[in-house]
Amino acid sequence: MQQYSKKSTQALNSPFDSSFLTVFKTLRQQKEDAILFFDRGDVFTVHDSDAQFVAEYLFNTTSVLKFYNDCVYVSFSRAQADGFIRDCLLTHGKRVRVYNKAGGEYKCIKEASPGNMVAFENDWLNSETEINDGAVVISLLFNEPYWNAAFVDTTTRKLGIVKYLDPNDSFTTTEALLIQLGVKEVVLPLDSSLEYRKMKKMIEERLAILLTERKKKFYDFNEEELTRLIKEEDIPVIKASSEEYSYSLDCLNCLVDYLHLIADQFNHKNFKLEIYPINKFMRLDSAAMHALNLFPTNKDEIKTSSLFGLINSCCTQQGSILLSQWIRQPLIDCIEIEKRQNLTEAFVRNFEIKDALRNKEFKTTPNLQRMVKKLLKGSANIQDLIRLYQVALSLLPIRDRLMTFEGIHKELIFNEFVSPLVTIIENVQKFAELIEQTVDLEKADRHEYVLKSTFDDELNEIQEEINSLELQMEPELENASKDLHLEIYKKIKLEFNPIYGHFFRISRNDWTNLDGKSSYTELATQKNGIYLTTETLKSLSDQIIELKDNFQSKQRKLVKELVKVVSTYHSVFENLNNWFAYIDVILSFATLVTNSSSFYVKPKITGLGFGNIEIYGGRHPCLEVQENVSFIANDVQFIKDESVFHIITGPNMGGKSTFIRQTALIVLMAQIGSFVPCQSATISIRDSILARVGASDHQLKGISTFMSEMLETSIILKTATKNSIVIIDELGRGTSTYDGFGLAWSIASYIATQIGCFCFFATHFHELAVLQKEINTVKNFHVSAFTETSKITLLYKLKPGVCDQSFGIHVAKLAKFPTPVLALAKRKASLVENNEKKIKVSNLIDLIAKIDCCHSYLQKSESTEENTKVIQELCEDNCIKEEIDLFVNQLI
């Protein structure tokens, strides 16, 4: 962050009292991991390191920093505070506390964390704030040999329990679980035992998720409380799981208490409980998430630079949320994958229906999950009810449009979308009738949101009085028109304004008509004219305003009752919300195909552990859509028991990293049910994607590049199965050449022989090519380049075989290094290369000499039979022969 000084900051007159700094330091020590906001009425302030954080990450400038009594601070409006608090929680994963001063003391009035935003929920529900991700919080408890977990998603009102083995100290199953669920916060028991210390370290170093510790007394299952929360149909889940998942239920109790779910009566009987199917999805580790750039890393990033951004053309927020979940949870069930593919294919072939749905009916569909929550909390208003009514009306045209499907997958479209929609339409019919009977829809078209006066006798009586008084205004307008000699409705008009009530408006050009007219009172002169009133008009206006206030007061009570009745339909609207999300993601998949200028195909899927991965003309989906990129397609053929481990060599910038990433992305896209960017593809389902690519962000946590390489590689070696796909890029660069080569050789050999999974191993160690001779499933490939005497052309094409030279200086030239630097690099490289050749010749001579001595000894010595046998084996050792061949080839 840019430095600042007292001189460069703005000083204000006492923005807070002198005792505040002492109080702030105390609060800061108590809550070191929270951003502390201070509510001062019209403005909010943050101080010290919090001020620096807000300046850097939220204002994006240090010019907002101010100074007072050696304390740096930032002040901002209440509206800005709402946005900053939201960003702290959702974008930066920070804990937040809001204080105000009451009775001479600063007290915390609101506290929230990324997984527990209950304190701000009502504020955000009643604003236009949209939350794109669920606030998922998970609690973990270890009971050897199992890890037990429970999670809560307050956005979708979902509770889940799970129990699993995590047999190695890398906690890869836990890591995959947290990624699948999109967890924002982890709650652990206050326990200093080794298992919990290791778990905390993993979460902090690999996932950077906020950690909260709670006393073990909160981990005590309370069946009565849980029964009050969950829906009646899910109560049998508690009974069936109380023994096997007892520790997971303890975790759930901890979260129920942490989130204060019981205290909010609107939560009662509105949460769904499930046993989470952890083995239903592909495992992704955090390294793979970052390597494949599955989600955007910052708000300013180009939309199509992440897979989520590329695919996400969803019309609804619920669709975007579901797409995010699908990307985190690739399927391993062939039938489910093929169902999504076939649905996508149906809309690709019937693109007119797809475009009509997206451009008409879906364009204005609100987030129904959010509206359901407002219903349950009783905070919905007439406008919300009308929006739900409009959605209900849109369902019939959607059904009719889907019914026009012809051709391939027509029956599937009916079963997945039409049939459930017909059931929903039947269920919302009575809701629509209720709104038509109670809400004045004609006035709603004029943006007046009121109940029908005929809905209630008292309302009707008030409305009749208002109508009578409004009729009495017409003669008053006619009298004024004649008195002032102004044409009615053109030169003089009757209007209403919340400030002035009912009044006459005339043009400023006609002000002379008021001369000598003492019965008129001028209220205001505006750009659009002069506002006038009379005693009679003012009396009528005051009566109408009073009656309308009475009408509104009575209406508020009736609306509360109406909202309560409508809330009984919450399950119907939740089902409709899920229906919209499902079809919206499928339409987004289809739009990716139809809008692409390149070819996307439906891949053939084979079961877990069966078949091969064969991709022809594969492309990187995100890179090919960037500006000024002409992408070169490549083929991949992973053949079981034949071509399993691919060593990729070639120049830097030659496309090795892009190629291995694009293959992993294509596999992931296939397993979420999407079409893929290539000419044709057969994908054998993988149970996990594991990656060792780049230095990630470990350096920010004090971990060296080399150590991060070793940590990530260790995880791969411990957790990869024969059904995984592994991508490793440039392993061993962070240490000496000899150590790096040795590690790369041994790791490659272990993966190829002991694990046997499909693996890309991109490397700058060309000597690894020898593995192909030793292990029959290892194949060498290289990215090609065309070289002339003084320049290189990178072709980005993958070819069989090993790269026969290094192109480092050529690449430096492409990067426009200064000429003197390039010249010196060439001289030094030449010296080192010649020296290495001399060493290799010397080593070769020594080796031949040793073998020659062995031969002589064997001929002359009167050694024992056992010694003779050892010497014979030495002379016939294939490794020594291959070492000689390697030396000779390198010299050539």
Partners of 271 in the β-ladder: 230
> Which whole number is the average pLDDT over 206-224?
91
In the predicted structure, residue 502 carries a pLDDT above the cut 90: yes
Q: Map residue 255 onto helix, strand or coil.
A: helix
pLDDT at res. 4: 38
Whether this prediction's pTM lies above 0.75 is answered by yes
- Among 74, 65, 71, 76, smallest CA distance to 8 is for 65
Q: Spell out a b/e string for 676-712, using b for 16 or more CB atoms within 10 Å of the CB, else e.
A: bbbebbbbbbbbbbbbbbbbbebeeeebeebebbbbb
Q: What is the pLDDT of residue 13?
A: 46
The residues facing 496 across adjacent strands are 502
Percent of the chain with pLDDT over 70: 84
Among the residue ranges 138-142, 404-408, 807-811, 849-853, the one predicted with the least confidence is: 849-853
Relative to beta strand 146-153, strand 71-77 is unpaired
Short-list 488, 539, 486, CA closest to 508: 486
Predicted pLDDT of residue 7? 38
- In tens, the pLDDT along 342-367 reads 999 999 999 999 999 999 889 889 99
| Position 11 confidence tier, pLDDT thresholds 50, 70, 90 | very low
> What is the rounded CA–CA span in Å between residue 138 and residue 398?
38
Q: What is the pLDDT of residue 577?
A: 96
Do residues 366 and 318 lie in contact, with contact meaning Cβ atoms separated by under 8 Å? no
Q: Which two tokens stand for residue 109?
A: 């009035």
Q: What pLDDT does residue 206 have?
A: 86
Round to whole Å and give the CA distance between 611 and 641.
10
Q: What is the pLDDT of residues 825-881, one digit of tens each?
A: 666 666 655 555 555 545 544 555 555 555 554 455 555 555 445 445 544 544 555
Tell which residue, 460, 453, 459, 457, has the closest CA to residue 438. Answer: 453
Give the pLDDT mean for 21-40: 87
pLDDT tens-digit map of 685-732: 999 999 988 654 444 444 566 677 777 888 899 899 999 999 998 876
Which of the listed CATH numbers 3.40.50.2000, 3.40.50.10860, 3.40.50.300, 3.90.1300.10 matches domain 604-814?
3.40.50.300
Assign domain 136-280 to its CATH architecture.
2-Layer Sandwich (3.30)
pLDDT at 400: 95
Question: Which pLDDT score, from 0 to 100, does residue 1 have?
Answer: 40
Tell whether the model's pLDDT for residue 656 goes beyond 90. no
Q: What is the pLDDT of residues 438-467, one digit of tens each?
A: 999 998 988 888 888 888 888 889 989 999
Give domain limits for the chain: 10-112, 136-280, 604-814, 830-891
d(C-alpha 792, C-alpha 652), whole Å: 12
- Residue 697, pLDDT score: 43
Q: Which fold has domain 10-112?
A: MutS, DNA mismatch repair protein, domain I (3.40.1170)
Query: In the predicted model, is pLDDT for residue 889 greater than 80?
Result: no
Mean pLDDT on 179-199: 93
Lowest mean pLDDT among 311-315, 380-384, 562-566, 744-748: 744-748
Cα-flanking dihedrals φ and ψ of residue 217, to 5°?
-65, -20
Per-residue pLDDT at 693: 82
SS3 state of residue 532: strand
Q: How many CB atoms lie within 10 A of CB 381?
A: 15
Question: E-strand spans in 225-334?
Answer: 272-275, 283-284
Q: What is the pLDDT of residues 105-124, one digit of tens each?
A: 889 999 999 999 888 887 77
Structure tokens given for 529: 């004219």
Q: What mean pLDDT is reported for the chain?
A: 85
Average pLDDT of the residues in 744-769: 90
Q: Is the peptide bond before 475 cis (omega within 30 degrees of 0)?
A: no
Cα 41 vs. chain centroid, distance in angstroms? 34
Report the alpha-carbon distance of residue 321 to residue 523 in Å, rounded.
53
Q: 44: Cβ–Cβ under 8 A, 6 or more apart, which residues?
A: 37, 38, 75, 76, 77, 78, 80, 81
- Given this model, what pLDDT does residue 835 score? 57
3-class SS of residue 522: strand
Question: Cα separation of 202 and 188, whole Å?
Answer: 13
pLDDT of residue 9: 37
Position 618 scores a pLDDT of 95
Q: How confident is the model at residue 325 (pLDDT cuts 50, 70, 90)?
A: very high
Q: What's the pLDDT tens digit per position in 660-685?
A: 999 999 999 999 999 999 999 999 99
